[in-house]
């Protein structure tokens, strides 16, 4: 669609059906305003430098960009070394390998720069001790005072300066195992002017450490709670002749998320083994040039879709927008941006710049604007005669000055419109609009069952012809007109074409139609044949005495009673259940069967006497007695299928007797088992008492053995002579 700014036609219109003048018809489209493209060569690895696009909401715009790794491209390498005491043995190895690192870099790029920095940890308790800070606690022959981060050599092509700086490095000490790695990494990345990072170069940050790192929140152990602001905080120390980090005692450690968001455009390599330093550096460089990945940050009102055509033997990871292992091939990306909604900045003519980083290659900018305002807004006519000189004509519509309103600004805002029952002007925005002191009601566009032309009306748009409450789904049950007065609704019922009487009830839901026998040859409508009262809401007749039937048409004369022939009822009850049963040998005139699926009296039998039943020991027989609709003097009987017990009564008696016997036997068995259990338990107790007795099981514990040997005291003594 587009916007027509012709005053008499102003508004959004479909392009294909619009009759607006082409000069006044504005159809915004997503388009490219500016495009800076460069050929890929040894100095340029990305085909796009910047692009300026203008987007219409929900209309995507696509463009292409190609990426290819140059063989000899500027390379920046910054070596960040952990100088805690545990790294002492590795330091000796690194110092021996330091002169070889520039040679390794020269093999991959003739235009390389290399820099050097060191770190330990925050110089405060509990990360370092006071004695360490004062130089009193160091068992090493040469030990430096603890520090957070020192920048020693800016990016340079002097191999000798780099090698000598590494050779002069000495270790320091701290208390805990984790180091301030993230803090030093942050400064090495964001301090562009200090480090000397070049804009158009491949960047490698080589971190050498042998331990874990502190993360955000650890600073609270030293009372440092202010979060890291992610900015460069360094200054030159003339005494140390190096640049030092100055916010170690005022800001907490950064988080890994803080660091990862700043590493776009960098290749990060962590080395824990100093012996293979050259291999680590070569691998880091290989990772930089072998992966083409697009990284960016989008506001929530812009979305993007990316497709890639990676070189042969390369793998595309769509969730990371990355072609891996591109080698010397070219990775082609198709990028599609979509504006989801118009932010305020776009409505004010401002733009959003998205920087797309390709780590190790370079970056390009995408400047995005939005079609969030019409061009005709810039050509507004103030005090236009078409706006009664009380407003500006903008894009064919009047923008009224303060104190005026209306399509042509001819209404004073001091004019007040009436309030509806809900105390809202014109009963609220959904029902009407105040124009020049009068309510203009909004008419519904949807269909309403039972109303030909639904409309909202009333001085305050407080009424309608379709809001009479009704559960039937039709206004006034489809039998009346919905009326309203001061917001109070009522149904005005119509006359029934069948009965000639008005429909009744709050919602015209009651009718006299069911109380009139339309089959009677009569030119007048008589309710219940004049022999009863009609309840229109129930739709039935309440007949006078001695009259029955739907329309009270049958005279009973007290003839109906439960006096059927018992044998006929039983026979027809069996016949209702079994079609093979015949009752022809009985004189059962006027008897009929009800099928097994029909347990209500047929419509041909009006006003029957119900619940007539005959019961035997095993079965129940139910029948209905009524006057015949054909011959009102003939009594007829209709019989339901018999309802009998599922088994004979004698079988039930046998089952009960057997059940009683089995129950008695079961009770005897249970009692016997209880006695056996109790006897067994008492016997076990008896055995236990015997085992605890001191005497033998065959001896009386009070029995004493008899003396079996007697010694004569006088035996063997000489007698006197």
**Domain at 308, CATH number:** 2.60.40.1510
Question: 609 lies in which domain range?
Answer: 566-644
Asked, as a colleague might, if the bond just before 379 is cis with ω within 30 of 0, I would say no
For residue 595, give the nearest of 609, 578, 581 by alpha carbon. Answer: 578
Both structure tokens of 128: 């370092």
Residues 298 and 183 grouped into a single domain = no
pLDDT for the residue 704? 65
Residues 207 and 112 grouped into a single domain = yes
In the block, tokens 């409309």 appear at: 455
Q: Which residue has the higher pLDDT, 248 or 9?
A: 248
> Alpha carbon 293 to chain centroid distance?
31
DSSP classification of residue 59: B
For residue 60, give the nearest of 338, 335, 307, 366 by alpha carbon. Answer: 338
- CA dist list (Å): 675 to 323, 620, 664, 687: 88, 50, 17, 19
Region 247-273: mean pLDDT is 80
468, 492, 516 - which closes a domain: 492
Residues 413-425: pLDDT tens digits?
777 888 888 888 8
What are the DSSP calls for 108-150, one per residue?
T-SSEEEEEEEE---SSTTTS-HHHHTT----SSS-PPP-SEE
Query: What's the CA gap between 374 and 27, in Å, rounded?
Result: 9
Secondary structure of residue 554 in the 3-state scheme: strand
Residues 427 and 324 grouped into a single domain = no
pLDDT-derived band of residue 598, with 50, 70 and 90 as boundaries?
Answer: very low
Both structure tokens of 156: 């340079």
Residues 390 and 403 grouped into a single domain = yes
Residues 178-189: pLDDT tens digits?
899 999 999 999
Query: What's the CA gap between 50 and 353, in Å, rounded?
Result: 10
Strands 411-412 and 404-405: antiparallel
Q: Which residue has the higher pLDDT, 290 or 126?
A: 126
Q: Which residue has the higher pLDDT, 156 or 130?
A: 156
622, 644, 666 - which closes a domain: 644
H or E segment and range at residue 654 = helix 649-692
**Burial class of residue 489 (count of CB atoms within 10 Å of its CB; 0-12, 13-18, 19+):** middle
For residue 347, give the nearest of 363, 317, 371 by alpha carbon. Answer: 371
pLDDT-derived band of residue 243, with 50, 70 and 90 as boundaries?
Answer: very high
| 537 located within any domain | no
pLDDT for the residue 585? 79
| 109 located within any domain | yes
Residues 356-395: pLDDT tens digits?
988 878 889 999 999 887 778 778 889 899 898 989 988 8
pLDDT for the residue 694? 52
DSSP classification of residue 284: H
Query: What's the CA gap between 549 and 543, in Å, rounded?
Result: 8
| 679 located within any domain | no
Query: What's the CA gap between 492 and 212, in Å, rounded?
Result: 86
Residues sharing a CB contact under 8 Å with residue 383, sequence separation 6 or more, in sequence order = 389, 390, 391, 392
Query: What's the CA gap between 436 and 411, in Å, rounded?
Result: 5
Residues 97 and 144 grouped into a single domain = yes
Mean pLDDT check: name the lowest of 196-200, 600-604, 605-609, 659-663: 600-604
Query: What's the CA gap between 224 and 175, in Å, rounded?
Result: 17
644, 666, 697 - which closes a domain: 644
Q: Contact, 628 vs 634, CB < 8 A?
A: yes
Count up the domains in the chain and report the number.
Answer: 4
| 529 located within any domain | no
pLDDT at 36 over 80: yes
pLDDT for the residue 270? 63
Both structure tokens of 419: 């309030």
| 417 located within any domain | yes
Residues 63 and 81 grouped into a single domain = no
Cα-based angle 416, 422, 427 (whole degrees, multiple of 5): 50
Mean pLDDT check: name the lowest of 217-226, 364-373, 522-531: 522-531
pLDDT for the residue 215? 93
Both structure tokens of 381: 């006519």
Average pLDDT, the chain: 83
pLDDT at 719 over 60: no
Query: What's the CA gap between 194 and 117, in Å, rounded?
Result: 11
């Amino acid at each position: 669609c587009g916007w027509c700014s012709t005053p008499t036609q102003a508004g959004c219109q479909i392009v294909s059906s619009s009759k607006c003048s082409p000069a006044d018809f504005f159809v915004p489209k997503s388009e490219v305003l500016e495009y800076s493209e460069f050929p890929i060569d040894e100095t340029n690895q990305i085909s796009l430098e910047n692009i300026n696009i203008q987007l219409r909401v929900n209309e995507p715009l696509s463009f292409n960009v190609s990426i290819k790794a140059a063989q000899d491209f500027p390379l920046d390498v910054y070596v960040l070394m952990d100088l805690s005491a545990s790294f002492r043995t590795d330091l000796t190895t690194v110092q021996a390998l330091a002169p070889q690192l520039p040679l390794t870099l020269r093999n991959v790029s003739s235009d390389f720069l290399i820099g050097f920095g060191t770190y330990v940890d925050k110089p405060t308790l509990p990360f370092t001790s006071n004695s360490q800070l004062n130089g009193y606690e160091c068992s090493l022959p040469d030990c430096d005072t603890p520090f957070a981060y020192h920048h020693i050599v800016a990016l340079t092509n002097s191999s000798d300066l780099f090698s000598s700086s590494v050779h002069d490095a000495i270790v320091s000490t701290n208390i805990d195992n984790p180091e301030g790695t993230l803090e030093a990494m942050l400064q090495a990345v964001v301090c562009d002017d200090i480090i000397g990072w070049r804009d158009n170069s491949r960047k490698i940050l080589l971190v050498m450490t042998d331990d874990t790192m502190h993360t955000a929140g650890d600073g609270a152990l030293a009372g440092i709670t202010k979060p890291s602001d992610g900015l460069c905080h360094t200054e030159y120390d003339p005494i140390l002749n190096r640049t030092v980090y100055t916010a170690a005692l005022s800001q907490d450690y950064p988080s890994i998320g803080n660091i990862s968001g700043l590493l776009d455009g960098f290749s990060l390599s962590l080395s824990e083994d100093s012996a293979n330093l050259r291999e680590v550096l070569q691998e880091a460089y290989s990772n930089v040039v072998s992966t083409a990945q697009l990284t960016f940050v989008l506001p929530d009102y812009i979305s993007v879709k990316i497709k890639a055509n990676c070189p042969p033997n390369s793998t595309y990871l769509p969730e990371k927008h990355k072609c891996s292992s591109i080698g010397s091939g070219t990775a082609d990306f198709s990028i599609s941006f979509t504006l989801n909604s118009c932010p305020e900045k776009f409505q004010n003519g401002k733009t959003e710049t998205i920087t797309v980083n390709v780590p190790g290659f370079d970056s390009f900018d995408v400047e995005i604007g939005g079609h969030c305002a019409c061009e005709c807004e810039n050509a507004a006519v103030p005090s236009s005669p078409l706006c009664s000189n009380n407003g500006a004509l903008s894009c064919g519509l009047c923008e009224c000055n303060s104190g005026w309103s209306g399509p042509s600004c001819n209404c004073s805002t001091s004019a007040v419109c009436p309030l509806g029952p809900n105390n809202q002007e014109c009963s609220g925005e959904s029902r009407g609009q105040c124009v020049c002191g009068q309510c203009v009601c909004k008419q519904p566009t949807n269909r309403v069952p039972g109303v030909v032309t639904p409309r909202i009306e009333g001085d305050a748009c407080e009424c309608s012809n379709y809001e009479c409450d009704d559960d039937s789904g039709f206004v006034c049950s489809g039998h009346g007109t919905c009326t309203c007065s001061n917001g109070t609704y009522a149904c005005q019922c119509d006359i029934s074409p069948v009965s000639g009487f008005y429909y009744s009830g709050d919602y015209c839901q009651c009718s006299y139609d069911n109380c009139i026998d339309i089959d009677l040859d009569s030119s007048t409508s008589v309710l219940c044949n004049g022999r009863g009262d009609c309840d229109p809401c129930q739709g039935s007749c309440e007949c006078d005495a001695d009259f029955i039937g739907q329309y009270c048409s049958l005279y009973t004369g007290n003839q109906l009673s439960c006096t059927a022939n018992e044998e006929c009822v039983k026979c027809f009850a069996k016949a209702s259940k079994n079609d093979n049963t015949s009752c022809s040998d009985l004189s059962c005139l006027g008897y009929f069967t009800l099928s097994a699926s029909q347990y209500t009296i047929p419509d041909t039998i009006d006003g029957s006497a119900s619940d007539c039943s005959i019961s035997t020991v095993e079965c129940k027989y139910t029948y209905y007695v009524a006057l015949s609709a054909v011959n009102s003097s003939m009594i007829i009987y209709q019989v339901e299928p018999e309802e009998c017990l599922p088994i004979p009564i004698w079988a039930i008696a046998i089952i009960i007797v057997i059940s009683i016997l089995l129950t008695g036997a079961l009770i005897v068995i249970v009692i016997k088992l209880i006695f056996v259990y109790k006897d067994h338990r008492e016997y076990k107790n008896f055995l236990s008492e015997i085992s605890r007795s001191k005497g033998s099981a065959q001896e009386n514990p009070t029995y004493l053995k008899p003396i079996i040997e007697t010694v004569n005291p006088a035996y063997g003594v000489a007698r006197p002579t």
